[in-house]
Structure 1
Amino acid sequence: MVANSTSYKQLKEDFVSNLSGGSVSEITYVVSVAPVAVLLWSVLQARQLFFRKNAATETSSPFALLVDFLLNVCAALLAITLWSSTPLLFSGLIIAPALFIYALPQRTTKKRVKLPPSSKANNANDRAGGPLGVLSLKPFLTQYRGSMMVLTCLAILAVDFRLFPRRFAKVETWGTSLMDLGVGSFVFSAGVVAARPVLKERAESRTTPLHQRLVYSMRHSLPLLVLGVIRLLSVKGLDYAEHVTEYGVHWNFFFTLGLLPPFVAVSQSILRVIPSYATLSLLLAVLYQVVLESTSLKSYILLAPRVDLISMNREGLCSFVGYLAIFLAGQDAGMYVLPRRINPNSTSTPGTQRNTLLLTIAVWSGIWWALYYFSTNPVRGAGLDVSRRLANLPYVLWIVAFNNAQILAFCLIDSLFFPSFYNAQDARTEKEAYEIATSRVLRGFNRNGLAVFLVANLLTGLVNMTVPTLDVGPVATMGILVGYAAVVSGFAVALDAWNISIKL
């Protein structure tokens, strides 16, 4: 058992403090290992039916599940640890077998992949092969959100070991890092799926009154706020090492997540005068940046003494504005990514609709990257520095630009290897095509993301309370991280296999 000495606690706090991060390009190379791994998974599935279900048991083989885990979890783990200095080489080593397998003769089967009984019983339309709805479960979104969740869960424990590069840990004030990207991506990803109820309302030509939206949003907020309180009490009660300048003395990420729904509910009323979520997001981020630059707010956040409840938690309270802007930008992406047809009034073919979607994502990705460039370039732009601690304008633009580009990468892979998904004529056929086109592991992480994240946090705390992480060598570190990854992945896959969705 690790001794709860003041010296060791201080050592751990120093280990994650005063860091300056790394370059945006390196972070992009490292995170790009995720879509590259999905590329290899897709080649194996599309060309060789490697992850197909057994006709008798209606489940994938244990070996196929192991390969799925190695590709979509362990590859990400290696990218942020042992191969962190050479991410492009690592990606190349993954692409090489993909090219070889793609060159092999394609394997075909006449057997139809069956749905699990739980899925068949889940929806009457599925059983009857009913009509397609307005929205659909897009394979590339599942892969994108699942990969993001995998990296997030891996990083929150890996950061406590010396094998995890310090440039990937959260920066103190100015700069970019892998974990800073993870925090913002978590919020953006939540915003993407939050567009679903809005799209359903529009499809049904109805409008929910503001007070009903607020009540509904509070139902989502309450569990998250409770989790925030539990985390606060456990951290203080166990004298757990904490980084105060991250969110403040009492604030934590669960409080930020918990406060988002009611503010988003109010923002829907603002959309009556503002044309889109993207415009509202950008307007909010720009106004916040103006306030930071033209008032004493920035110096207050960074330098003020912690004398009362507000000043003690000023980072969490003020950065919430930036996270709200990221969430709204995610919702804007969801408005064109989630619908079955990006142009519902068009009679174009599914292939044309898919190409239009790809072009739309590419254009928006280019717009957000251009805005990020002009906000940070000291010669041709504003010359602002990225700050996750402030969640300022450059940070918002970086997160939104990167996630749009990441969605585009997964969408390209999906369109290349599983175009038949977009040609489905009924709900049951589409569900079968969806399951064929998505990793079982990533599907589990995506389906119960917040519950899996909570379990990962609990396991992270358990490891830190029982293992002197700063004194562990590389071999033991990898053993612990792989074991941890296996437990978290097993939990995610088990929930999906048992058809359990935990809504928090």
Structure 2
Amino acid sequence: MSRAAEQAIKASYKALKEDFVSNLTGGEISEINYVTAVAPAAVILWSALQSRQAFFKPYTPLAFAVDFLLNVSAILLATTLYANTPILLNLLLVAPVAIIYSLPKLPAPKKAKIPPKQAKDEAPNPLPKKPFLTTYRGAMLVITCLAILAVDFRIFPRRFAKVENWGTSLMDVGVGSFVFSAGVVAARPVLKEQMAGNSTPLGTRLYQSIRHSVPLLVLGVIRLYSVKGLDYAEHVTEYGVHWNFFFTLGFLPPFMALFQSAFQFIPSYAGLAILLGAAYQIALEFTDLKAFVLTGPRTNLFNKNREGIFSFFGYLAIFLAGQSTGMFILPRSLSAGATGIQQRKRLLLTLSAWSGIWILLFMATTSYKYGLSLSVSRRLANLPYFLWIAAFNCSQLTAFSLVETLFFPQVYKSGSSSAKEEEEMYRSSTSRVLEAFNRNGLAIFLVANLLTGLVNLTVPTLHVSNLAAMGILMVYAGVLTGLAVVLDVYGISIKM
């Protein structure tokens, strides 16, 4: 880069910095917390109905309708009609729980007797499915799919849309949470490898990761050509001219395969995440990188996609933080010899501790009085953004785990149950809608993107009334939910 270009970038960045007024306020983050708290509040009501009245068993059309209203429609309401009063919606969702608990509890169904030999021969799954994790991932996918279309309507507050350079918003937390949750489930093959005592060579890991990446990269190319070909509205400052979120997701697996080797020297995914996030932030602060990303020219392919290329390091740190969380929430037990109750207490304490660590680190980097006075930037995916996403998602996991512990204690007390009994307990403790979204999350997300494009090409979204917008959004939510549940009913899992 020529000296003149460097001076131009620095001058532009200096002007940008002088005009900068940070959007990072406690009020904004609090509002995001209130809005996203609707998901745990809805799950509380769902859990009360199921644990006290077995309302969703059998899963009748009425049960599906209530499931949809609680776990999809409530989230849609929180981001539209109740956007200014999310606390009221939370109270409306939680209030009926007291009434439900005042009603007589239905007697528990009789368990089928299992032959002693069969129960003895069955080894418990070391990585069982956990209802609270399914609920967390399902709810995250629901709010992500709803927001990508709702943002095109006036009924969706502009403050919830992605910010340009600095600050926090609901949609900013959504893209980071998608990556974090992907990191959580990515811990499963690593744990299986550790339990088997095997060590996969680097070449094999890279080959397997590339195979996993190819479908995502293909989706990225398809989205690129569809957006450019249909002249669909887009913000270049989000990822760049050609880059999109599917490319970010597609390049994560190969880089994670490389970080598996670094794990031998730093045996902590959280430690690797923090080091990567800190190193990236140092580069932003002590070089011209930040100025280049924010104000640099778009003269070649690299420059045109600088946001997507450099924010990838932040998303990689988020993915590593998610994988660190998955390493202790996916296994059946955190320590040998402990009872189910002890294991659950330890899990809650561990989740709470990590939530506190991420929150403290976030405060240390953003505090203007006692910290580094850094501002969150989703465009850069900088250190404060990475820490904010890690803190938010760990807190959400803690909340969902606590709800499960309170309403479905049989899930974690059943250490000696058969595989069939555990599957039954999992089913009875998990929303069918959220299970369906979790099962085919990436496929449903792809369909949501296609439907969003279709709606925008056929409807003048910025000019329709709020009533019409809610009607369109409800139909859209119903189509996505119906597709997800049908795939789940027929046992179809679309792997990408």
TM-score (norm 2): 0.92
Following superposition, the deviation at residue 99 of structure 1 comes to 1.9
Change (3 A) 1:93 1:358: same
How far apart are residue 127 of structure 1 and its match? 11
- Find 1:462's aligned residue among 445, 448, 454: 454
Superposition map of 1:476-487 within 5 A: 476-487=468-479
1:45 to 41, 46, 50: 50
Deviation at 1:323, TM superposition (A): 0.1
Which deviates more from structure 2 when the two are superposed, residues 424-433 or residues 317-326?
Answer: 424-433
Note if 1:316 corresponds to 2:321: no
Aligned-partner residue type, residue 82 of structure 1: L
Matched residue type, 2:401? C
Residue 110 of structure 1: how far off its partner (Å): 2.6
Aligned pairs for 1:214-229 (under 5 A) are: 214-229=206-221
8 Å CA contact 1:19–1:171 kept in 2: the answer is: no
Aligned to 1:408: 398
Write the mapping of 1:11-26 to structure 2, written as runs, cut at 5 A: 23-26=28-31
2:253 is the counterpart of 1:261: yes
Match of 2:195 among 181, 203, 206: 203
Name the SS of the counterpart of 1:471 in structure 2: coil
- Separation in structure 2 between the aligned mates of residue 258 and residue 129 of structure 1, nearest angstrom: 41
Structure 2: distance between partners of 1:269 and 1:206: 14
Deviation per CA, 1:145-177: give whole Å up to 9, x if none. 000000000000000000000000000000000
Other-structure match for 2:297: 305
Structure 1 residues 397 and 19, CA, compared in 2 at 3 Å: closer, same or farther? closer
Tell me by how many angstroms 1:472 deviates: 0.6
1:144 CA drift (Å): 0.3
Alignment check: 8 A CA contact 2:140 2:174 kept: yes
| Cross-structure match for 1:79 | 78
Q: Secondary structure at the match of 2:462?
A: helix
The AA in structure 2 aligned to 1:441 is V
Residue 142 of structure 1 pairs with residue 134 of structure 2: yes
The answer to whether residue 491 in structure 2 is matched with residue 499 in structure 1 is yes
Residue equivalent to 1:472: 464
Offset at residue 108 of structure 1 (A): 1.6
Amino acid at match of 1:165: P
Instruction: Kindly state the Cα deviation for residue 399 of structure 1 after the two structures are TM-superposed.
Output: 0.1
Contact 1:130 1:428 (C-alpha < 8 Å) held by counterparts? no
Query: What do the CA deviations read for 1:220-270 (whole angstroms, capped 9, x no partner)?
Result: 100000000000000000011111100000000000000000000110110
Mapped to 1, the partners of 2:111 and 2:100 lie a distance apart of 23
- Aligned: 1:442 with 2:447: no
User: Using the alignment, how far apart are the partners of 1:129 and 1:108 within structure 2?
Assistant: 30
Residues 72-221 of structure 1 correspond to what in structure 2 (within 5 A)? 72-110=71-109, 130-221=122-213
**1:410 counterpart letter in structure 2:** F
Other structure's SS at 2:95 match: helix
* Contact 1:20–1:167 (8 Å) recurs in 2: no
Q: Counterpart of 2:225 in 1: which secondary structure?
A: helix
Asked whether 1:398 is paired with 2:397, we answer: no
Contact 1:27 1:178 in 2 (8 A): yes
- State the 1:20 CA deviation: 5.5
CA offsets 1:419-454 (integer angstroms, 9 cap, x no match)? 111233221111000000000000000011000000
Read off the aligned partner of 2:57 and give its amino acid letter.
R
Instruction: Please state whether the residue corresponding to 1:73 is helix, strand or coil.
Output: helix
127-136 or 249-258, which moves further after superposition? 127-136
Farther-moved stretch of structure 1 (29-38 vs 102-111): 102-111
* Aligned-partner Cα distance in 1 for 2:430–2:227: 37
* Deviation, structure 1 residue 103: 2.5
| Partner Cα distance (2:448, 2:123) in 1 | 38
CA deviation string 1:90-119 (max 9, x = no partner): 101111001221222211243559xxxxxx
1:4 paired residue number:
none
What residue is the counterpart of 1:7 in the other structure?
A: none
Letter in 1 for 2:339: T
Q: Which residue identity lines up with residue 37 of structure 1 in the other structure?
A: A
Q: Which residue of 2 aligns with 1:417?
A: 407
Secondary structure of 1:470's counterpart equals coil
Q: Is the 8 A contact 1:127 1:428 kept in 2?
A: no
> Quick one: distance in 2 between partners of 1:25 and 1:386?
15
Q: Is the 8 A contact 1:281 1:325 kept in 2?
A: yes
Higher mean C-alpha displacement, 245-254 vs 100-109: 100-109
Per-residue CA shift, 1:194-244, capped at 9, x if unaligned? 000000011111111111111110111000000000000000000111111
Contact 1:19 1:167 in 2 (8 A): no
Provide runs of 4+ in structure 1 moved above 3 Å. Answer: 18-22, 126-130
Q: Secondary structure at the match of 2:57?
A: coil
Structure 2 gaps of 5+ residues are 1-20, 113-117
Which whole-Å CA distance do the structure 2 matches of 1:246 and 1:76 have between them? 25
TM-score, normalised relative to structure 1:
0.91
Q: Which residue identity lines up with residue 246 of structure 1 in the other structure?
A: E
- The answer to which of 393-402 and 91-100 deviates more is 91-100
Aligned to 1:359: 349
Structure 2 distance, partners of 1:219, 1:426, is: 35
Contact 2:119 2:418 in 1 (8 A): no
Give the counterpart letter for 1:47 in structure 2.
R
Read off the aligned partner of 1:323 and give its amino acid letter: Y
Asked whether the 8 Å contact 1:220–1:261 carries over to 2, the reply is yes
CA distance in 1, matches of 2:346, 2:457: 51
Work out the percentage of aligned pairs sharing the same amino acid.
Answer: 61
Amino acid at match of 1:200: K
Pairing partner for 1:236 from 228, 240, 260 = 228
Q: Which residue of 2 aligns with 1:376?
A: 366
For the aligned residue pairs, the C-alpha RMSD in angstroms reads 1.7
